Amino acid sequence: MAASKKKYNFKGLDDIFGESVTDIIDVIENDKTIAKEKSLLISLDLLKPNPYQPRKIFDNEEINQLADSIKIHGIIQPIIINNKNEVVAGERRMRAAKIAGLEEVPVIVLTLSNQQMEEFAIIENIQRVDLTDIEEAIAYKKLSTSLKMKQEEISKRVGKSRSHIANIMRLLNLPKNVQEAMLDKKISMGQAKPLLTILGNEDLLNNIFEQILTKNLTAREVELLIKNKGNVVEKETKKPKSPSIVKSENNIMRRLGTKVSIENNKLSIWYSNDSDLNRILEILGLLNEE
């Protein structure tokens, strides 16, 4: 088979990453020929977590479910480690194997430098695991500082837009206690992001942050608090729309084939792009109207 002839020496960054970290990992873990020829059994006690692992929080329920599967089927995909027995890919499998009571696990050993280990761990996690927003920001920061990558290069490596990366990294401007709350999943990015607008007002920021924690405010409520300098604002109570308004909305939506809203004496019409706008204008007979 062609796959069995390919050598995975991983001596250079180009060999590791190519177009996608995910592709490389998938080949190693899922190709039965490679798993059979390259894997070996090693004592689970010898394995160490990757020191560059960007993930700080692991889903215990998910790991316990994986442990139950391992008890029945064993570890199907080998864990990938370096020559220091540090886990490159498969830390959740390692944790689950310990819970399952395994003494030995199949591994594939790669020779990687510290820099390659760090880059591999960060990018592999970003591409394959749903990091929290703040963990993702920390991962980008590591690529930027430790590995001297610019945002354009990070964008190409992880397959995400430069604007997304810049937006996420802004979270690192928040105070340490806010970042820790995000790491602990006590507050979301939506709740924390408005706080970026008041970084210069520490007292107000701390006041609103405490209210977020105690009242579980929505992002909209946080924005209103900021607008009102931390003073509590009564929640707006929306008056139900009259049946005639709802009927009119539905009739227009069916006619235009898009979402519409009639509220506060305003008619709002949604469109997805210029082509969609032209379609709606044509329906209304306004496309070529001077």
Amino acid sitting at position 18: G
**Cβ neighbours for 53, distance < 8 A, ≥ 6 positions apart:** 91, 121, 125
DSSP letters, 119-165, are HHHHHHHHHHS---HHHHHHHHHHHHHTS---HHHHHHHHT--HHHH
**Which backbone phi and psi does 253 adopt, to 5 degrees?**
-60, -45
Q: Contact, 57 vs 130, CB < 8 A? A: no
**Which backbone phi and psi does 162 adopt, to 5 degrees?**
-65, -40
Q: Which residues are catalytic?
A: 91
Count of beta carbons in the 10 Å neighbourhood of residue 156 = 13
Both tokens of 175, joined, read: 């105070």
**Rounded distance, CA 238 to CA 173, Å?**
35
Helix, strand, or coil here: 185?
coil
Query: Angle 101-102-107 (CA atoms, 0-180°, nearest 5)?
Result: 150
Amino acid sitting at position 163: S
Mode of pairing for the β-strands spanning 260-263 and 79-82: unpaired
The closest alpha carbon to 174, from 145, 206, 148, belongs to: 206
**Rounded distance, CA 145 to CA 139, Å?**
10
